[in-house]
A = this chain, B = another copy of it.
């Protein structure tokens, strides 16, 4: 039977989820991180009223949080937090701030604006290990949670798997809550995805096989078939990021086996 503290739309007692074991909030795994490229208040309110139980993090993508009227940004942050969801600005913004020697001001302003987390990344601008460690620790001191991110946005900058793995471990030691594996908004040509968005088996096996706790990783997976494959491989409680706002319920349906793609695999394994 589906958990009785779920919204359920009035369908209480109708069915069991075909793919069982989905964890409810608050939770430490099965996280869904949504990318927001500029939702207004009405759209954001709609999203939260419909889907807040299924969202753990909202990211204001790239440097977009710099373009809002100040009052509107504060209101967005307040609204998201009021639904028990963490919120953070995209990592590119921090990269530029570091590069321009404004990290401290960046962190303090993020805190003051009401953000609960920040993202520490070097997807585009190189960051020394010392600076990266400092950024993570300093954010924590200021009371901000940290999601770090590994992987380069441009294929020409791509890193060895061993380097990525070492960085994940180091970030967790330094105080990151989770480490995001870069997937971009497109899900193409980056870390575990090839240029057409297909999963690169070797990279995925390497990272997933060597990391101590799989729940320490958030996989950015914007495309449906990517979400589906990661759920089938790692179960309903895999952490997924860069989910589009309009896809949150559809992703939840994938997670519990209420959509054809994961339902079919569940049936086949039940029969065989």
Residues of A bordering B, CB below 8 Å: 2, 6-11, 13-16, 18, 37-43, 45-47, 49-51, 53-54, 61-70, 72-74, 92-93, 95-97, 100, 102, 105-106, 109, 112-113, 123-125, 153-154, 157, 184-186, 224, 246-250, 252-253, 256-261, 263-264, 267
Decide if A40 touches B41 in the complex (CB within 8 Å): no
B42 and A69 contacting across the interface, CB-CB below 8 Å: no
Question: Are the C-beta atoms of B15 and A97 separated by less than 8 Å?
Answer: yes
A161 → chain B, closest Cβ, in Å? 21
| Given known contacts A263-B92, A263-B125, A14 and B102 CB-to-CB distance under 8 angstroms | yes
* B15–A38 touching, CB < 8 Å: no
B contact residues around A267 at 8 Å (CB): 124-125
Whole-angstrom distance between the Cβ of A29 and the nearest chain B Cβ: 19
Q: Are B62 and A15 in contact (CB under 8 A)?
A: no
A63 to B266, CA, bound (A): 15
In the bound complex, do residue B37 and residue A7 qualify as a contact, i.e. CB atoms below 8 Å apart? no
In whole Å, how far is A59's beta carbon from the nearest beta carbon of chain B? 13
Closest 8 CB pairs of A and B: A40-B46, A63-B258, A38-B249, A153-B260, A10-B70, A9-B73, A9-B68, A64-B249
Contact B67 A51 (CB under 8 A): yes
Give every chain B residue within 8 A of A49 (Cβ-Cβ): 40-41, 69, 72
Q: A15-B97, A73-B10 are in contact. Are A258 and B43 (CB under 8 A)?
A: no
User: Contact at A260–B124, with CB atoms within 8 Å?
Assistant: yes
With A42-B46, A50-B68, A258-B96 known as contacts, the answer to whether A247 contacts B15 (CB < 8 A) is no
Is B42 within 8 A of A54, CB to CB? no
Q: Which residues of B contact A264 (CB under 8 A)?
A: 124, 153-154, 157
Distance of A185 Cα from B106 Cα, bound (Å): 38
A125 / chain B contacts, CB cutoff of 8 Å:
263, 267
**What are 23 sample pairs from A and B whose C-beta atoms fall under 8 A apart?**
A7-B67, A7-B69, A8-B70, A9-B70, A9-B73, A10-B113, A14-B109, A16-B100, A38-B51, A38-B248, A38-B249, A40-B46, A40-B47, A62-B253, A63-B256, A64-B258, A67-B252, A92-B253, A92-B258, A96-B257, A96-B258, A124-B264, A124-B267
